[in-house]
Amino acid sequence: MNQAPSLQILVVEDNDNLREATVGFLQEQGHQVVGVVCAEDVDDTPTQALPDLYLIDVNLPGEDGFSLAKRIRNSQALAGIVMITARSQLNDRLDGYGCGADNYLMKPVDKAELLACVNNLARRLKPIPIETGFTLNTQTLCLAGPAGEVTLTHGESLLLAAFCRAASQTLERWQAMQLVDTKDKGLVAANLEMRISALRKKLSVCGASNDAIRTLRGVGYALGCQIRVI
């Protein structure tokens, strides 16, 4: 069974055999899948819920896949859209991405590649919630925790988000310095330590321990708490 979140998927493909095979394969992976023949059927086909993901053939009878993809993207900004087609020219692929496609797969599509594509989109469309007491909003620069919330500087937000993305939540000193000194002003290690210290204090205000960012002698720094980045 597929380990990614289950999706509501609509397959738009006029080749009966290919459509049925794709629907059956994805159903075996635990998804809720419906297949239709043409773009015109998309609006008339009842599904359990609004589809999370659309797999669209480009060469459809009537309205083509590019037009359908653009229409879906305009009405469902967060939906997943994958074009599946034999049209391999660069202009065709660019048209697909220009219409809002997340991915463009060439026929014949190997089942392993299709599943990898669907799984990758599933993790974006329905991310598994991370249970943490801390949230970093990179748009508002707000860090919230059990004890309260604080406003970060843009640089602090970049640095904290980088910690969250890094392997083992660890940044080497040079990596942290690049984030702090984005304009290459020649800041020294003492400046970096001051920035890290200020970030520690803000984490502490939100409820983190005083050593939420640990200094790794001769290496760099490690974040010691889980933070959800939005």
How is the chain classified by DSSP, letter by letter?
---SPP-EEEEE-S-HHHHHHHHHHHHHTT-EEEEESSGGGTTT---SSS-SEEEEESS-SSS-HHHHHHHHHHH-TT-EEEEEES---HHHHHHHHHTT-SEEEESSPPHHHHHHHHHHHHHHHSPPPP--SEEEETTTTEEEETTEEEEPPHHHHHHHHHHHHSGGGEEEHHHHHHHHTTT-----HHHHHHHHHHHHHHHHHTT--TTSEEEETTTEEEE-S-EEE-
pTM: 0.62
The reported pLDDT for the residue numbered 186 is 58
The reported pLDDT for the residue numbered 217 is 85
The reported pLDDT for the residue numbered 187 is 62
Contact (CB, 8 A) for 69 and 54:
yes
Dist. CA 10–CA 126, nearest whole Å: 16
The reported pLDDT for the residue numbered 174 is 84
Dist. CA 129–CA 136, nearest whole Å: 14
The reported pLDDT for the residue numbered 2 is 46
Task: Give the class (CATH, top level) of 134-229.
Answer: mainly alpha
The reported pLDDT for the residue numbered 184 is 54
Instruction: Name the packing angle between helices 173-180 and 189-205 (round to 10°).
Output: 80
CB atoms within 10 A of CB 10: 24
Tokens 């653009």, located at residue: 70
The reported pLDDT for the residue numbered 185 is 55
The reported pLDDT for the residue numbered 75 is 86
Distances in Å between the Cα of 181 and the Cα atoms of 114, 129, 170, 186 are: 42, 33, 18, 7
Dist. CA 118–CA 208, nearest whole Å: 37
Dist. CA 70–CA 63, nearest whole Å: 11
The reported pLDDT for the residue numbered 1 is 43
Dist. CA 169–CA 221, nearest whole Å: 9
Q: Taking the chain (230 residues) in consecutive chunks of 10 residues, what is each chunk's mean pLDDT? A: 76 95 95 93 75 94 93 89 89 90 92 93 75 82 91 89 86 82 61 88 90 87 87
The reported pLDDT for the residue numbered 179 is 78
Q: Where in the chain is the domain with CATH 3.40.50.2300?
A: 8-125
Q: Where in the chain is the domain with CATH 1.10.10.10?
A: 134-229
Contact (CB, 8 A) for 136 and 162:
no
Where does 8-125 sit in CATH, by number?
3.40.50.2300
